């Protein structure tokens, strides 16, 4: 075999090897696993949050809430509010039928007016009797009238003054009766003790409403709460106690509102 033929064969083998190497390299390149992407971020200071969950169901409560009932039972006559209404302090919430008490109050006021008229008459007579007794004293000093007449004038003046005082006492008694009837009327009405929202009403117009004393399972007539001040009361696990302290800012999430959060601050950590 000549040298030229050997060179041709060697060249062809080299070309074949290059083609095979190029194919193997291409297969490896396209079949290799994709490299892991690395995300770079600038390091800085920020807020770190720690989440804890309550061990039992918590509750949203109002800072101010009251359950109102009338001090006496009766038929509901007026119900100017409904559940969900916002009311102002002093606004009428419920009134029971009290026409009989209103009539008693009107009678007591009339008795006050009559007694006051009696005061004017009795005290005017008493003042005149006292002046007459003083006049007779002067005449007796000058021996124009007898001492018995002067004494009788003083006795008359004292009697008239007693009548005046009795008339004043009757006015005070009648006014006291007015106050009593007003108190009785107050027992039949419910007024809002603060600005708030009516949560629940028990009863309708025409129905009988009864008082709800402590210890008796009678629902209150009006359930009123202040929605401007709310707080969360939730029991926490004791292992989370070191993470919690008064004044700490918190972010509150609720199962009922999964996409919302509410800022807050820890007001109190109970020891039990």
Write the pLDDT tens digit of every residue in 117-144. 888 788 888 888 888 778 777 777 777 7
pLDDT, residue 108, reads: 86
Tell me: the pLDDT tens digits for 44-78? 776 666 776 666 667 888 889 999 988 888 899 99
Does 223 score more than 90 pLDDT? yes
DSSP classification of residue 236: B
Angstrom distance (rounded) from CA 73 to CA 183: 15
Confidence of residue 25 (pLDDT cuts 50, 70, 90): low
For 142, the 3-state DSSP assignment is: coil
Confidence of residue 195 (pLDDT cuts 50, 70, 90): very high
Confidence of residue 29 (pLDDT cuts 50, 70, 90): low
Average pLDDT over residues 191-215: 88
Contact predicate 177/129, CB 8 Å: no
Q: Could you give the residue ranges of the DSSP H alpha helices within the chain?
A: 3-31, 99-141, 147-186
pLDDT, residue 221, reads: 92
pLDDT, residue 194, reads: 94
Does 244 score more than 60 pLDDT? yes
pLDDT, residue 28, reads: 63
Q: Which of 21-25, 59-63, 172-176, 245-249 has the lowest mean pLDDT?
A: 21-25
Does 219 score more than 90 pLDDT? no
Average pLDDT over residues 234-244: 79
Angstrom distance (rounded) from CA 233 to CA 126: 71
pTM over 0.85: no
Contact predicate 199/87, CB 8 Å: no
Both structure tokens of 208: 């009988």
Contact predicate 85/198, CB 8 Å: yes
**In whole numbers, what is the pLDDT of the chain averaged over residues?**
81
């Amino acid at each position: 075999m000549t040298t030229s033929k050997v060179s041709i064969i060697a060249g062809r083998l080299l070309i074949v090897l290059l083609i095979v190497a190029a194919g193997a390299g291409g297969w490896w390149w396209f079949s290799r696993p994709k490299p892991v992407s690395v995300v770079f971020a600038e390091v800085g200071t920020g807020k770190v949050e720690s989440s804890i969950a309550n061990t039992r169901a918590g509750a949203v409560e109002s800072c101010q809430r009251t359950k109102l009932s009338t001090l006496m039972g009766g038929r509901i006559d007026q119900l100017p509010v409904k559940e969900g209404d916002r009311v102002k302090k002093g606004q009428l919430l419920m009134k029971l039928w009290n026409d009989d008490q209103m009539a008693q109050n009107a009678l007591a006021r009339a008795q006050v007016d009559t007694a006051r008229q009696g005061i004017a008459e009795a005290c005017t007579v008493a003042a005149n009797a006292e002046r007459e007794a003083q006049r007779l004293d002067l005449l007796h000093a000058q021996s124009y009238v007898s001492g018995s007449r002067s004494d009788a004038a003083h006795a008359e003046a004292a009697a008239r003054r007693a009548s005046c005082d009795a008339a004043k006492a009757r006015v005070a008694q009648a006014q006291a009766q007015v106050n009593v009837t007003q108190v009785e009327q107050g027992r039949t009405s419910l007024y809002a003790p603060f600005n708030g929202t009516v949560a629940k009403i028990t009863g309708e117009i025409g129905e009988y409403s009864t008082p709800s004393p402590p210890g008796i399972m009678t629902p209150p007539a009006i359930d009123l709460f202040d929605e401007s001040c709310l707080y969360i009361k939730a029991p926490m696990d004791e292992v989370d106690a070191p993470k919690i302290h008064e004044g700490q800012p918190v972010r509150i999430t609720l199962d009922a509102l999964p996409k919302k959060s509410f800022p807050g601050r820890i007001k109190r950590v109970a020891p039990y």
